[in-house]
Structure 1
Amino acid sequence: MNLLVINSGSSSIKFSIFSTDSSSPRSLYEGEVLGIGTGNATFDFHRTGDSSSPAKIKADDPVAAINKVVEAVTQSRLPSINAVGYRVVHPGPKLDHHTRITESVLSDLNHAVLFAPLHDPSAIRIIHEGMKHFPRLPHFACFDTIFHQTMPEVATAYAIPAEYRSQGVRRYGFHGLSCESIVEQMHSTNFPLPHRMIIAHLGSGCSVTALVDGHSIDTSMGLTPTGGIVMGTRPGDLDPGLVLYLLRQQQGDRDTAFKSVEHLLNHNAGITALSGLPNDMRSTRKAAAEGNSQAQLAIDVFTRSVRKAIGAYTWLMGGLDVLVFTGGIGEHDTKTRAEVLAGLDSLGIQMDAELNLAENKQPNNPIQQISASESKTKVFRVPAKEDWIMAIHLQQMLTQA
């Protein structure tokens, strides 16, 4: 069988075609649409392992973007698709497992928009469009929250009245597919699963997750992907009184005020708000190196928030055996990794500067160590393989159907 996996964000779509002719899904083709709705959208699609240059396209909304994806994957020279899977950030309080998409599931997802207004609406539009183009195929939803269902109630409960908790207001956690892909990569390469591990997923969205024996016990994101550590355009955790202050500062009616603050917290906060620059760590670091003090402040606030989260979870677990960096920044920004790990020698955490800078020359082993051999806590950088873990779930659900 061949599976089409669609991993959509608020302004992007990554997609892959996987074959299930082996014990583990194998990627055949991959592509992405970036900059949806910005007027500067680009499209890239190629055989896995090859490279190509992105082309500029017109993609003013998710529907236009997914139509481009469908056009690409239905070319006559490509293998026919047998099932489609979609990454959905938030399932809401009613859906607690990856599932085949039905009218009932779509209804629950529409309700979940209340919890993830930045991500879920575009995902739902993409699902509807995908089902229209492939009406005879089974369609599945994979959720970013499911991996965190092993968290105990003491980690998920907010200290608010029961009437709100009964509505599903709790800590859900996100980047679960990324975290699960790290654990699965360890299994698939016979890497010993550590007892106490922290995964720092650092990209445009960022989270830190604590795991015991491969199971999530706590994570930085909460009810929505806006909370936790500082991110590209999101502030992370805030004093609730600050949100009230922001609401009181808005002009216009209630709905206008809420939409304005919601947009601020999801699009105009975080690193970009502190630096005054676009949401791109490379340009932020370049500006800081050229003497831009606001860019340097943004970087310092970001790395400090990551260090605080890692420190809290290390204390919570009574120590730390393995720390993993993943995500766009976590995998590729050597300076962020060095800054997060700076000054921890007395705690037995020592980075090897040469390993931190080195490229992975072992493509069959994605788990690349960057800590010194004498470090008590081992530190690795590992790619987030969300599409691959989704393909595994699709294969399992198709087998069980």
Structure 2
Amino acid sequence: MKILIINSGSSSIKYQLMVMPTNEVICSGMIDRIGLETSNVTFKTSSNTIEETLPIPNHKVGLQKVANMLLDAEKGVIKSTSEIGAVGHRVVHGGSDFSDTVKIDENVKAKIKQLFELAPLHNPANLEGINVAEEIFSSAEQIAVFDTAFHQTMPEVAYKYAIPNYLLTENKVRVYGFHGTSHKYVSEKAIENLKSNSKIITIHLGNGCSMAAIKDGKCIDTTMGFSPSNGLIMGTRCGDIDQSVVFYMIKNLDYTPDEVNSILLKQSGMLGLTGYSDLRDIESEAEKGNKDCQLALFMNAYRIKKTIGSYTAALNGLDAIVFTAGIGENSSHIRKLVCTDMDYFGIELDQEKNQIRSKEIREINTPNSRTKVLVVPTDEEYEIANQVYHLLQN
């Protein structure tokens, strides 16, 4: 069965066409920097790689570009959309309605839309991907895989907020956690590497960032909560902030609630600190002496280091930390900042190994490091395809 995986992030689209259950990848690619004039488009097969830079204003245009490349008469990989048996969609927020992979119908789409306010940078893009895919791949099964599912193993002590109980029981206000597909995949790969069900902290760093504490293969805590807006400093999201700031901005600075929401989600984080949302630009400017960019990088790493400390306490120990996703896999500078002055936790980084770029899982700690430091390339697309295939088989 040919399964097309569509992973619509807040500013990117990853896609992959696979044959299951053989795990054969027919083609893969990515569109990043969506919304900018310099969006990057890649399309890879076993014999071809196409790279383009062009404006991709939104996810709908991006998904139409993906479909055109798949069907291209000269370099495409399918002759008809009917060749694709299923389209697997990564959906960020499933709320309390979805804890498993499901077939998409109008009811599922309506519930995804109801959750727009809780994942405003993601669920709209996810639903757009579903709508466009239904038009283009009309004969395929449309399947949703939810980012919140992996975190359903969190104990009540971790997922419950200290607010009136009825807000949980009646309104489902709780910690849900996100990037679950990635945390699940890389933690399983790390456990295979360590050859034991260990105490692991997974660190997913991209335009959106999150961490998870994983004990014996199960998530016991995670940094994102009711929505994917809190926790670490992100590309445009502020992460953790005193809620009083929100009321201060509304009552004293005359912002509307919608304006505050936009500022904290779309104008804050690394963008608010530096004027840049892409870490590659920020690192480049920092090297040139830009003080704002230098400080932002230290702030980013400082927040991650504090979370490593708290999660080590929650796990009652630490066997490994795992870096993954676009920044986690590729930014040796961020990894160095995070692992510096962490000897109390038994973390010692090998500077030469840290500079290596690879598509393979690798250890970048010194031989004397008590805690393993792993870089595990995430493969959310494979994880989604696997879940889609098993749902349809069952």
Structure-1-length-normalised TM-score: 0.91
The equivalent of 2:3 in structure 1 is 3
Aligned to 2:185: 181
CA drift at 1:147 = 0.5
Match among 371, 377, 387 for residue 383 of structure 1: 377
With 383-392 and 190-199 compared, the bigger mean Cα shift is at 190-199
Q: Is the 8 A contact 2:21 2:389 kept in 1?
A: no
What RMSD, in angstroms, separates the aligned Cα atoms of the two structures? 2.0
Instruction: Map Cα deviations across residues 170-208 of structure 1 (whole Å, 9 max, x no partner).
Output: 101111111111134346x66513420000111111111
Kindly indicate whether residue 61 of structure 2 is the aligned counterpart of residue 64 of structure 1.
yes
Q: Deviations over 1:256-309 (max 9, x none)?
A: x1221111111111122122x311222222322332222111111111000000
Q: Percent identical across equivalent pairs?
A: 35
Aligned to 1:18: 18
Distance 1:212 1:124 in 2: 33
1:47 paired to 2:50: no
C-alpha distance in 2 between matches for 1:263 and 1:313: 30
Higher mean displacement: 162-171 or 260-269: 162-171
CA distance in 2, matches of 1:398, 1:285: 44
Q: Does 1:109 align with 2:112?
A: yes
Aligned to 1:142: 145
Q: Which amino acid aligns with 1:66?
A: L
**1:183/1:193 contact within 8 Å kept:** no
The residue aligned with 2:224 is 221
Partners of 1:115 and 1:65 lie apart in 2 by 23
Instruction: Say which of 370, 391, 394 aligns to 2:364.
Output: 370
Aligned AA (1:177): T
Report the CA distance between 1:241 and its aligned residue.
Answer: 0.4
1:132–1:52 CA distance, 2 compared to 1 (3 A): closer
Match of 2:70 in 1: 73
- Equivalent residues in 2 for 1:198-277, closer than 5 Å: 198-249=201-252, 251=254, 257-275=256-274, 277=275
* Alignment partner, residue 176 of structure 2: 172
Residues 229 and 302 of structure 1 are in contact (CA less than 8 Å); yes or no, is this contact kept in structure 2?
yes
Q: Deviations over 1:203-222 (max 9, x none)?
A: 11111110001110000111
Q: How does 1:289-304 map to 2 (within 5 A)?
A: 289-304=287-302
Q: Structure 1 residue 239: deviation in Å? A: 0.5
> Which residues of structure 1 form unaligned runs of 5+?
none
Structure 1 segments, 4+ long, off by >6 Å, are none
Contact 2:40-2:52 at 8 Å conserved across structures: yes
Q: Which residue of 2 aligns with 1:323?
A: 321
1:312 deviates by 0.5
Q: Is the 8 A contact 2:188 2:217 kept in 1?
A: no
**Could you tell me which residue of structure 1 aligns to residue 131 of structure 2?**
128
2:85 corresponds, among 82, 87, 94, to 82
Once the two structures are TM-superposed, the CA of residue 40 in structure 1 deviates from its matched residue by 4.0
Is the 8 Å Cα contact of residues 274 and 298 (structure 1) preserved in structure 2?
Answer: yes
Cα separation, partners in 2 of 1:241 and 1:44, compared to 1, 3 Å: same
Q: Which SS does the other structure have where 1:94 is aligned?
A: coil
For 1:279, the equivalent position in structure 2 comes to: 277
| Count of residue correspondences | 387
The one-character-per-residue Cα deviations of 1:341-394 (angstroms, maximum 9, x if unpaired) are 11222432211111111233xx6xx22000111211111101111111101111
Is the contact between residue 207 and residue 220 of structure 1 (CA under 8 Å) also seen in structure 2?
A: yes
The farther-off stretch of 342-351 and 263-272 is: 342-351
Whether 1:27 aligns to 2:30 is no
Q: Give the 3 Å change call, closer, same or farther, for CA 283–41 of structure 1 in structure 2.
A: closer
Give the drift of 1:251.
4.3
> Are the aligned partners of 1:2 and 1:18 in contact in 2 as well (CA < 8 Å)?
yes
Q: Alignment partner of 2:98: what SS? A: coil
Asked whether the equivalents of residues 93 and 112 of structure 1 are also in contact (C-alpha less than 8 Å), the reply is: no
> In 2, are the aligned partners of 1:193 and 1:214 still within 8 Å (CA)?
no
Which of these residues, 166, 172, 180, is aligned with residue 163 of structure 1?
166
Structure 2 gap segments, 5+ residues each? none
Q: Displacement of 1:34 after TM fit? A: 2.9
State the alpha-carbon separation in 2 of the partners of residues 258 and 265 from structure 1: 11
Shift in Å, 1:73: 2.1
Offset at residue 39 of structure 1 (A): 4.2
Q: Distance in 1 between matches of 2:326 and 2:59?
A: 22
Is the contact made by 1:31 and 1:43 (CA closer than 8 Å) also made in structure 2?
Answer: yes
- String of CA shifts for 1:27-64, please: whole Å, max 9, x gaps: 2201223343434444321215853322425x433322
Distance (Å, rounded) in 2 between the aligned partners of 1:134 and 1:286? 41
Deviations 1:218-272 (Å, cap 9, x if unpaired)? Answer: 00111111100111211111111011112225547xxxx1221111111111122
- Is the 8 Å Cα contact of residues 93 and 167 (structure 1) preserved in structure 2? no
SS at 2:51's partner residue?
coil
Q: Which one is further off, 376-385 or 105-114?
A: 105-114
Q: Is the 2:30–2:41 contact (alpha carbons within 8 Å) kept by the matching residues of 1? A: yes
What is the rounded CA distance, in whole Å, between the counterparts of 1:108 and 1:88 in structure 2? 11
Superposition TM-score, scaled by structure 2 size: 0.92
